[in-house]
């Protein structure tokens, strides 16, 4: 353990894990006016390293809060929120390096270049949505999870966040080798021995053994080797674990440097946070000075240690692949996307026979200002919207990856019925005027989320109606006049709010 290295910064770690309780924190959704949620008003204080993070004095009944299900905030440990700041920092570096090549048509938020980001070990979605918050507008995030059931949870949580377009994939990281040098940034929150979670998760304590550390380190090297092949020359790799031991942290990053020539990158987190006018000084408790390990040069890594920073254990470092980065967005504009050529999957099977009228109808549901930025096309069972900028990259992903969701699933087509999806309801590309809207209170909202009957006011138009809560979309119902049919996904419904 860390204490064996003689580093006094970890002297109180064991005591802290035994005698203190985890913090309660949430990250507010900047694209859904998260600061206006009632949850934001209960903040105890803010998270220093991400301005959208807040600590709560006590743990409320999150499941009973409709705002959680609307994607207006995400329950996340404060340490993991540093992903947002890292994404913003990397975006700024890439934008500065490509200032002359980035024209106004390509630039996203703050005039920065949209990026192609892979979250390779993504479930349940906390770090994926955190990356979405820190990336420029127009970026595309691919989020992958090995386990099928966890991939479905990932899909749900990312859909609720509703911001930057995403592609959700499932499977082993070896599949990404087939893409070649594809991504601008790859984030690897690697499966680990979980020592950083021992304060909040009894299972993490019970399953830990020295052999588990060895097993995890071997798996991490395999994952990093796979993903390194999918990173563009000059691209960035963000490596993190929720464990303390150096075998899975510094020594793993050092292996990547020695084996693949990875170049450590200064995260810039401590300097940027401490320079902020609203800094509380909490960021000074993040350890950014290297543990002294014989033969290991400085890595500019970050360590969040319970008892020092207000959060659970987290290690994070940023490495760069040798070479000059030509970001995917610029390569696409120059028709040099580096994606592999070859036979492509059909995106609109003939058997589906989605009519042009259906596609035009769905296109009319988009925000008018975004209509030209998205391609609307048929899928196996419905209609999706995919950002036009990234459309040339989609065939390679459909061919080489196990894609379970691409872009925004707008509607499912069943016979003559065109049923808008819950993902579309919570997305930010839906026009507020596309469907009649009915505002409901918190009790009715919870009933809807449990797929119980909701009564609409007299005079509500028949057909598909959007329910809103606190002015934000909640989901669709179909008004039949004498009753309503819920269009909320059965697999998302609330089962227990106690």
3-state SS, 368-415, equals HHHHHHEEEEECCCEEEEEEHHHHHHHHHHHHHCCEEEECEEEEEEEC
**Choice among 102, 192, 216, 242 that is catalytic:** 242
Question: How far apart are alpha carbons 197 and 204 in whole angstroms?
Answer: 6
State the sign of the Cα–Cα–Cα–Cα dihedral 175, 177, 182, 188: positive
Question: How far apart are alpha carbons 77 and 313 in whole angstroms?
Answer: 10
- From 120, 188, 184, select the one nearest 320 (Cα to Cα): 184
Q: For residue 448, give the DSSP letter.
A: H
And the tokens for 389? 């900028």
State the sign of the Cα–Cα–Cα–Cα dihedral 256, 259, 262, 264: positive
Reported for 297-303, long-range contacts at CB under 8 A and 24+ positions apart, including other chains, are: 297/254, 297/257, 297/264, 298/264, 299/250, 299/253, 299/254, 299/257, 299/264, 300/264, 300/265, 300/266, 300/267, 301/249, 301/250, 301/253, 301/264, 301/267, 302/82, 302/267, 302/269, 303/249
Residue 185, φ and ψ in degrees, nearest 5: -140, 135
242 catalytic residue (yes or no): yes
Q: How many other C-beta atoms are found inside a 10 Å radius of the C-beta of residue 197?
A: 22
Residue 386, φ and ψ in degrees, nearest 5: -130, 135
> Cβ(373)–Cβ(403) under 8 Å?
no
Question: How far apart are alpha carbons 420 and 408 in whole angstroms?
Answer: 11
> Cβ(94)–Cβ(135) under 8 Å?
no
- Catalytic residues, which ones? 242
């Amino acid at each position: 353990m860390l204490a064996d290295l003689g580093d006094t910064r970890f002297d109180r770690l064991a005591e802290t894990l035994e005698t203190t309780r985890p913090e309660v924190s949430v990250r507010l959704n900047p694209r859904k006016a998260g600061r206006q949620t009632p949850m934001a008003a209960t903040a105890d204080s803010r998270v220093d390293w991400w301005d959208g993070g807040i600590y709560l004095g006590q743990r409320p009944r999150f499941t009973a809060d409709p705002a959680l299900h609307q994607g207006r905030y995400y329950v996340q440990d404060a340490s993991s929120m540093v992903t947002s700041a890292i994404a913003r920092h990397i975006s700024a570096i890439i934008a500065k390096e490509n200032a002359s090549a980035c024209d106004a048509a390509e630039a996203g938020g703050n005039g920065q270049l949209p990026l192609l980001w892979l979250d390779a070990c993504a479930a349940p979605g906390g770090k994926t949505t955190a990356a979405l918050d820190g990336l420029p507008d127009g970026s595309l995030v691919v989020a992958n999870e090995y386990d099928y059931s966890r991939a479905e949870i990932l899909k749900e949580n990312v859909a609720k966040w509703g911001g930057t377009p995403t592609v959700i994939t499932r499977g082993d990281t070896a599949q990404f080798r087939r893409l070649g040098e594809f991504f601008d940034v790859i984030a690897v929150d690697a499966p680990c021995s979980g020592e950083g979670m021992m304060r909040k998760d009894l299972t993490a304590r019970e399953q830990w053994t020295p052999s588990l550390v060895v097993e995890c380190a071997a798996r991490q090297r395999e994952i990093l080797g796979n993903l390194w092949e999918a990173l563009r020359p000059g691209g960035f790799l963000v490596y993190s674990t929720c464990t303390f031991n150096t075998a899975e942290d510094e020594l793993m990053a050092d292996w990547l440097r020695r084996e693949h020539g990875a170049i450590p990158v200064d995260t810039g987190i401590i300097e940027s946070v401490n320079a902020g006018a609203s800094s509380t000084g909490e960021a000074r408790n993040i350890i950014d000075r290297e543990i002294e390990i014989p033969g290991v040069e400085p890595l500019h890594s970050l360590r969040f240690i319970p008892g020092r920073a207000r959060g659970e254990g987290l290690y994070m470092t940023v490495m760069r692949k040798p070479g000059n980065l030509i970001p995917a967005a610029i390569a696409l504009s120059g028709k040099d996307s580096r994606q592999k050529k070859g036979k492509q999957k059909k995106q609109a099977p003939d058997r589906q026979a989605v009519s042009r009228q259906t596609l035009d109808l769905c296109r009319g549901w988009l925000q008018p200002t975004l209509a030209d930025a998205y391609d609307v096309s048929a899928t196996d069972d419905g209609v999706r919207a995919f950002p036009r900028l990234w459309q040339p990259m989609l065939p390679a992903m459909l061919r080489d990856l196990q894609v379970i969701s691409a872009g925004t699933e707008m509607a499912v087509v069943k016979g003559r019925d065109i049923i808008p999806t819950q993902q579309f309801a919570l997305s930010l590309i839906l026009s507020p005027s596309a469907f009649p809207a009915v505002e409901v209170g918190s009790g009715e909202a919870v009933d809807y989320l449990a797929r119980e009957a909701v009564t609409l006011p007299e005079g509500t138009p028949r057909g598909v109606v959007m329910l809103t809560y606190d002015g934000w979309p909640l989901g669709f119902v179909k008004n039949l006049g004498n009753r309503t049919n819920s269009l909320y996904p059965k697999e998302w419904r609330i089962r227990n709010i106690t």
